[in-house]
């Protein structure tokens, strides 16, 4: 958890509709990457009536007047009548102030203009009414330890990582973990249909010897694993098994070069989830680039984005292209060499049914260790912080870290929560088209690497004069203490001033060789000025490369 979760509480409450639901959604959203986007992903995929992982209170708080309580209750009832996607659109647009185009991308198919009328509140008054409703939440009893425990509980229940490629696995989406009804109660027929979406598919689905060898790779269980897909596609061999366990629905991906026998396929990823989703999607990388396999219902329409596009002026967007399906299976070679930035959209009968990232099964290595001396700072470049910083750009843009030109702008140490010392690294990455992305990450002695935030800059940006400020936040190793620090990287000799977005007293951190940090007021200081240049403090969840 790398952000101040308190900032997310009002949004979680509006999405969930109750105190207990907000606690549950907060933990699940933080476990899905954090930020408002993590909350929305968790909200769209949660199951009504599930057990919450953070307990709390409910009822009308004493500080709300009877008139405000009545208005809040009226809006709450109207929100409850919306679909989850419609509710997410309301919160994103009128509470989080997200542009309509962005809302349409995150929750496609929602008629945004019609929602104020359905809620009975004029559009210009809806932000204030949502603020009023959010103010009725009773969430002040939460603390860092309780939230950390909740996130750990979610992660324990959701994810089981396994296989020979575990060091290369990046679990990107619980939505790529399950299919509704993929596993049914044990049936007498050994080859009963594996899914309500149809029988097992793929060119090897009828090869009983191959399927038996795959099943032998899994541990025995009361419910035997069922085949979802097996075959050669997009130049690779893929196999997918599902079975019900005591923890939920377990899905295991296998992959390898085309024609690889079952016994020699990489058991690349195993996930366990209690949240059904209508799509299974994964990517794998090899010497030819990245490939995608997506399994959904026959007849569904599929669109794929290979990664975030960064234009020459530094602006970001996503472009989707339709891909063909055969019997509900899409298998394509991607137009980028990395597969970690993939987002797919699936429509059925003209209506959206799923949008989300694909799980990344195998990746082709990490960024090469830094060899150059950093422009700013005095400490050696920490290899883990460097790797995390480069991955924070390479992953979302669909690039392999080793294919990018990287400049180390700064490196140094700062005090971390719990009395430890962390090392931070800031890099500048040249992207196709000329734009530059900057990224900061930190690493602690316990081997934890944490991204701190990214930003984009137009083509032609002079790296020798570029200043970057990022918010690095983390818990102590025992999760007992949370802390945030602003890491400042500037050209040596340049003074930097920090300030709040609303203005106020300026803070000038001490810099050594252009590198320094600021602890006091780290969450309030959101903008900086360096000579004639100015900018915003980068932070996880708020950058141009964050989000689906």
Structure confidence at residue 64 as a pLDDT band (50, 70, 90):
low
Q: Which of the two residues, 292 and 182, has the higher pLDDT score?
A: 292
Structure confidence at residue 128 as a pLDDT band (50, 70, 90):
confident
pLDDT digits (tens, 9 = 90+) for 414-433: 987 767 788 999 999 999 99
Give yes or no for residue 59 having a pLDDT over 70.
no
Q: Which of the two residues, 490 and 185, has the higher pLDDT score?
A: 490
Residue pair 175/279 in contact (Cβ under 8 Å)? The answer is yes
Of the ranges 62-66, 191-195, 201-205, the best mean pLDDT one: 201-205
Q: Residue 8, SS3?
A: helix
Looking at residue 389, what is its pLDDT? 94
Residue pair 277/294 in contact (Cβ under 8 Å)? The answer is no
Q: Residue 360, SS3?
A: strand
Looking at residue 150, what is its pLDDT? 66
Residue pair 228/237 in contact (Cβ under 8 Å)? The answer is no
Which neighbouring-strand residues pair with 310? Answer: 316
Structure confidence at residue 282 as a pLDDT band (50, 70, 90):
very high
Looking at residue 522, what is its pLDDT? 83
Q: Which of the two residues, 369 and 511, has the higher pLDDT score?
A: 511
Give yes or no for residue 88 having a pLDDT over 50.
yes
Give yes or no for residue 541 having a pLDDT over 60.
yes
Residue pair 328/297 in contact (Cβ under 8 Å)? The answer is yes
Looking at residue 456, what is its pLDDT? 96
Q: Which residues contact 125 (CB under 8 A, 6 or more apart)?
A: none
- Please state at what angle helix 144-158 crosses helix 19-31, rounded to 10 degrees: 60
Structure confidence at residue 530 as a pLDDT band (50, 70, 90):
very high
Six-digit token pair at 517? 């940090």
**What is the DSSP code (8-state) at residue 220?**
P
Distances (CA, A) of 485 to 293, 502, 525, 543: 41, 20, 10, 17
Q: In this structure, what is the dihedral angle of CA atoms 228, 232, 233, 235, given to the nearest 10 degrees?
A: 150
pLDDT digits (tens, 9 = 90+) for 13-40: 899 888 777 787 888 778 666 788 878 8
Q: How far apart are CA 96 and CA 436, in angstroms?
A: 27
Closest CA to 384 of 335, 446, 329: 446
Structure confidence at residue 379 as a pLDDT band (50, 70, 90):
confident
Give yes or no for residue 358 having a pLDDT over 70.
yes
Give yes or no for residue 272 having a pLDDT over 80.
no
Looking at residue 33, what is its pLDDT? 63
Give yes or no for residue 195 having a pLDDT over 50.
no
Give yes or no for residue 137 having a pLDDT over 80.
no
Over residues 453-463, mean pLDDT: 95
- Per the listing, tokens 């009725």 go with 136
Closest CA to 3 of 546, 495, 493, 548: 546
Looking at residue 60, what is its pLDDT? 45
Looking at residue 363, what is its pLDDT? 85
Closest CA to 364 of 394, 332, 330, 407: 394
Residue pair 360/253 in contact (Cβ under 8 Å)? The answer is no
The whole-chain average pLDDT of the chain stands at 80
Give yes or no for residue 253 having a pLDDT over 70.
yes
- Per the listing, tokens 């949240």 go with 275
Burial class, 78, CB count within 10 angstroms (exposed 0-12 / middle 13-18 / buried 19+): middle
Please report which helix (H) or strand (E) contains residue 468, including its range.
strand 468-475
Give yes or no for residue 63 having a pLDDT over 60.
no
- Per the listing, tokens 């750990």 go with 152
Give yes or no for residue 244 having a pLDDT over 90.
no
Residue pair 205/190 in contact (Cβ under 8 Å)? The answer is no
Closest CA to 123 of 169, 154, 89, 73: 89
Burial class, 264, CB count within 10 angstroms (exposed 0-12 / middle 13-18 / buried 19+): exposed
Residue 471 phi/psi, 5° resolution? -95, 115
> Per this entry, what is the length of the chain?
548
Exposure on the CB side of residue 530, measured as CA atoms within 13 A: 21
Structure confidence at residue 333 as a pLDDT band (50, 70, 90):
very high
Least confident of 22-36, 92-106, 336-350: 22-36
- Please provide the DSSP assignment of 518-542 as one string: E-TTTTT--EEEETTEEEEPB-TTS
pLDDT digits (tens, 9 = 90+) for 204-238: 999 999 999 999 998 877 778 899 999 999 999 99
Please report which helix (H) or strand (E) contains residue 94, including its range.
none
Looking at residue 135, what is its pLDDT? 81
Closest CA to 400 of 263, 285, 517, 250: 285
Looking at residue 47, what is its pLDDT? 43
Over residues 311-323, mean pLDDT: 95
Distances (CA, A) of 154 to 39, 150, 160, 173: 13, 6, 12, 14
Residue pair 348/254 in contact (Cβ under 8 Å)? The answer is no
Q: Which residues contact 538 (CB under 8 A, 6 or more apart)?
A: 438, 440, 452, 453, 454, 455, 468, 469, 470, 471
Structure confidence at residue 509 as a pLDDT band (50, 70, 90):
very high
């Amino acid at each position: 958890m790398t952000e101040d979760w308190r900032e997310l509480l009002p949004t979680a409450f509006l999405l969930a509709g109750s105190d207990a639901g907000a606690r549950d959604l907060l933990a699940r959203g933080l476990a899905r990457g954090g930020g408002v986007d993590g909350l929305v992903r968790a909200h769209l995929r949660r199951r009504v009536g599930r057990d919450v992982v953070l307990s709390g209170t409910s009822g009308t708080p004493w500080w709300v007047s009877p008139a405000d309580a009545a208005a809040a209750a009226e809006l709450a009832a109207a929100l409850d009548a919306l679909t989850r996607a419609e509710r997410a659109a309301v919160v994103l647009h009128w509470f989080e102030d997200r542009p309509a185009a962005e809302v349409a991308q995150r929750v496609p198919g929602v008629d945004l203009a019609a929602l104020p009328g359905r809620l009975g509140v004029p559009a210009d008054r809806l932000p204030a009414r949502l603020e009023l409703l959010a103010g009725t939440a009773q969430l002040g009893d939460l603390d860092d330890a309780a939230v950390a425990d909740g996130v750990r509980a979610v992660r324990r229940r959701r994810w089981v990582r396994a296989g020979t490629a575990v060091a290369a696995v990046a679990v990107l989406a619980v939505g790529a973990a399950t299919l509704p009804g993929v596993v049914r109660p044990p049936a007498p027929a050994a080859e009963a249909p594996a899914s309500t979406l149809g029988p097992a598919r793929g060119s090897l689905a009828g090869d009983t010897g191959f399927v038996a060898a795959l099943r032998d790779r899994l541990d025995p269980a009361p419910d035997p694993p069922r085949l979802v897909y097996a075959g050669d596609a997009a130049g690779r061999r893929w196999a997918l098994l599902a079975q019900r366990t005591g923890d939920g629905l377990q899905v295991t991906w296998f992959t390898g070069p085309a024609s690889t026998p079952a016994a020699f396929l990489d058991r690349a990823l195993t996930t366990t989830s209690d949240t059904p989703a209508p799509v299974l999607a994964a990517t794998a990388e090899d010497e030819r680039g990245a490939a995608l396999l997506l399994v959904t219902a026959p007849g569904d329409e599929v669109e794929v984005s290979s990664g975030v596009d960064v234009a020459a002026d530094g602006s970001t967007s996503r472009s989707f292209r339709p891909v063909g399906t055969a019997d509900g299976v899409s298998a394509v070679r991607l137009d980028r060499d990395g597969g970690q930035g993939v987002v797919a959209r699936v429509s059925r009968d003209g209506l959206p049914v799923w949008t989300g990232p694909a799980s990344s099964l195998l990746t082709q290595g990490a960024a090469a260790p830094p060899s150059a001396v950093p422009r700013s700072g005095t400490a050696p470049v920490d290899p883990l912080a460097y790797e995390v910083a480069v991955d924070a750009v390479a992953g979302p843009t669909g690039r392999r870290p080793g294919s990018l030109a990287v400049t180390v702008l700064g490196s140094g140490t700062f005090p971390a929560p719990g009395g430890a010392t962390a090392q931070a690294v800031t890099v500048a990455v040249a992207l196709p088209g000329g734009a530059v992305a900057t990224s900061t990450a930190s690493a602690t002695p316990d081997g934890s690497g944490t991204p701190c935030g990214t930003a984009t800059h137009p083509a032609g940006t002079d790296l020798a004069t570029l200043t970057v400020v990022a918010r690095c936040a983390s818990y102590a190793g025992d999760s007992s203490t949370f802390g945030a620090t602003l890491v400042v990287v500037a050209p040596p000799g340049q003074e930097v001033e920090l300030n709040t977005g609303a203005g106020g007293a300026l803070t000038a951190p001490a810099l050594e060789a252009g590198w320094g940090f600021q602890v006091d007021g780290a969450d309030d200081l959101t903008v900086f000025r360096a000579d004639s240049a100015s900018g915003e403090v980068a932070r996880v969840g708020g950058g141009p490369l964050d989000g689906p």
